[in-house]
Amino acid sequence: MSTDFDAVIVGAGFGGMYMLHRLRQKGFTARVIEAGKGVGGTWYWNRYPGARCDVESVQYSYQFSAELEQEWEWTERYATQPEILRYANHVADRFDLRRDIQFETRITAATFDEAANVWRVKTDKGDTVVARFVITAMGCLSSPNTPRIEGLADFKGPTYHTGNWPHEGVDFTGKTVGVIGTGSSAIQSIPIMAQQAKHLTVFQRTANYTVPAHNKPLDPAYVAKVKAHYPEMRKRAKTKPAGIDFVINMASAIETPEAERRRLFEERWAYGGLGFMASFSDLLLNDESNKIAADFVRSKIHEVVKDPKTAEILTPKNIIGCKRLCVDTGYWETFNRPNVTLVDISDEPIERITASGLRAKGQDYAFDCLVLATGFDAMTGALLKVDIRGRGGVALKDKWREGPKSYLGLTVVGFPNLFTITGPGSPSVLTNMLPSIEQHVDFIADCLEALRAKGVNVIEPVDEAQEAWVGQVGGFANITLRSTCSSWYVGANIPGKPRVFMPYIGGLPAYIAACETVVKNDYEGFALA
């Protein structure tokens, strides 16, 4: 059976772009199929006001090319979405990637042909592409979650989803705006929208923890220092569970005297960013330690927010770091503005959307525009939108009915020659995505090269290896407090989605070690045919 390409890569975000580059380097042919008009994935779609990455820009970047590292200039501590998108475009041009990317095309189905050992990939343009391998690089947070609230179609004004924002931007000047949701996307966009809008009404189901970003322009002397020592920084980052080079204080919060504890929290708070959760090593392992950190953040809310009732509604009651910690610029301060109203809907869901706004707790709220900052069907959503069928015509969505199962987060029993970059069961969303993506891509590219050298056509994980991996993913999840709340990590934000803690929480170093062992033992856990 002749094939069109060695591999079809789905998605031209950071995963898909680097996958294409690596496969080309190794002499494989590949076609990237991308729904958007341009590269960038997450950063192509998420154009809401205030969107920026909350991993520092010098770390949220590729490391496979020293030249790229040296020539690219990040301008802010946390890069904005437009800057990250410019970077993605620069990479596409620099490595001449576009000629193998088919834009504005969605994969609708992928079926493994067992007789020919090839994948037949169908697109919404009506064509079928045949390839030996399918490599998905569809992102973990790329399938927007539109909440099932009655009457959504009745709203007369425009409705925007933060995860699929109009490319021309939205000007809220003089408008009244209703926002549903208070996750990362909302926490970044609310302060900006509030500056523009005549009035902003925020509907909050769950209060969220956020730490200040203290974003600032990058000091050229700091950048020069980073550039002079990039390899060391990247190496250090790979020894950290989140793949981010920040210092983890190995002490326990409960065993540290109160004054010292306060000092350390204040220090991290003043520095800003996600490193706050590394103030002590047991914040996600021990209820008491977690409560100490949570109380510290709660006290900060009351220091900032002037109206005590609003401050109380904004105060999270759950475990800090269980839902994804947010990083903000002026979020709580925004609720001191006279043009911002917070509505607590924690005890009663929104009744319905109406033509002029929405009805909640027996009261009608009117606004011109509705913003859904309601997140994503995370980790499995994008994959399961495609009709992926493996051996015996079995659909991935049936295989994963009880929750996703994978080997290394990269492969699935019954789906030969399918690789899922940052799939469920990989560290992905719990880590700095860029180094995780590069690790996956290198693993896959090396694997394809090894198969070619051995004359092997088909690779597929075996049941025992997959079960053992799923056991490890679940085992690690149960050790931490992170699996204990209703977060998107466990699929709780999507009605009917099985409750399974999806990412691997053992940390990037343990994950890399596991992958290296698999390779060293000649692709242990896989059947090669």
Residues paired with residue 203 on neighbouring β-strands, in sequence order = 180, 343
Give the residue with the Cβ less far from ligand N01, 102 or 206: 206
Binder to ligand N01 among 45, 367, 493, 501 (CB under 6 A)?
493
Question: Which residue, judged by CB position, is nearest to ligand N01 in the bound state?
Answer: 183
Range 58-117, binding ligand N01 (CB under 6 A): none
Does residue 147 bind ligand N01 (CB under 6 A)? yes
Site string for ligand N01, 226-255 (x = CB under 6 A): ------------------------------
Does residue 328 bind ligand N01 (CB under 6 A)? no
CB of 197 to ligand N01, least distance (A): 19
Widest CA span in the chain: 71
| Structural tokens at position 17 | 């772009």
CB of 457 to ligand N01, least distance (A): 38
Phi, psi (degrees; rounded to nearest 5) at 477: -60, -40
Give the residue with the Cβ less far from ligand N01, 376 or 400: 376
Q: Check: CB of residue 121 under 8 Å from CB of residue 363.
A: no
Detail the DSSP E strand segments found in 68-187.
101-102, 107-113, 118-123, 128-136, 159-161, 176-180
CB of 182 to ligand N01, least distance (A): 4
CB of 278 to ligand N01, least distance (A): 17
Span near ligand N01 by CB under 6 A; candidates 20-28, 51-59, 417-425, 497-505: 51-59
CB of 215 to ligand N01, least distance (A): 11
- Quote the CA–CA distance of 12 and 21 in Å, as a whole number: 11
CB under 8 Å to 440, separation ≥6 — which residues?
A: 15, 410, 419, 421, 422, 426
Phi, psi (degrees; rounded to nearest 5) at 290: -60, -40
Residues paired with residue 252 on neighbouring β-strands, in sequence order = none
CB under 8 Å to 234, separation ≥6 — which residues?
A: 63, 245, 435
Dihedral sign from CA coordinates of 246, 192, 330, 374: negative
Give the residue with the Cβ less far from ligand N01, 7 or 430: 430
Does residue 191 bind ligand N01 (CB under 6 A)? no
3-state secondary structure of 501: coil
Does residue 423 bind ligand N01 (CB under 6 A)? no
Q: Check: CB of residue 75 under 8 Å from CB of residue 218.
A: yes
> Which of 141, 16, 133, 110 is CA-nearest to residue 396?
110
Neighbour-count burial of 358, counting CB atoms closer than 10 A to its CB (0-12 exposed, 13-18 middle, 19+ buried): buried
CB of 475 to ligand N01, least distance (A): 23
CB of 26 to ligand N01, least distance (A): 31
Binder to ligand N01 among 237, 293, 373, 433 (CB under 6 A)?
373
Does residue 483 bind ligand N01 (CB under 6 A)? no
Does residue 206 bind ligand N01 (CB under 6 A)? yes
Does residue 53 bind ligand N01 (CB under 6 A)? yes
Does residue 370 bind ligand N01 (CB under 6 A)? no
CB under 8 Å to 372, separation ≥6 — which residues?
A: 144, 146, 147, 159, 160, 161, 162, 180, 181
Does residue 149 bind ligand N01 (CB under 6 A)? yes
3-state secondary structure of 53: coil
- Quote the CA–CA distance of 379 and 389 in Å, as a whole number: 18
Give the residue with the Cβ less far from ligand N01, 54 or 344: 54
Give the residue with the Cβ less far from ligand N01, 16 or 316: 316
- Quote the CA–CA distance of 9 and 428 in Å, as a whole number: 18
Binder to ligand N01 among 77, 120, 300, 324 (CB under 6 A)?
324
| Structural tokens at position 1 | 């059976």
Does residue 505 bind ligand N01 (CB under 6 A)? no
Site string for ligand N01, 151-190 (x = CB under 6 A): -----------x-----------------xxxxxxx-x--
Range 254-283, binding ligand N01 (CB under 6 A): none
Q: Which residues bind ligand N01 (CB under 6 A)?
A: 52-54, 141, 147, 149, 162, 180-186, 188, 205-206, 324, 350, 373-376, 429, 488, 493
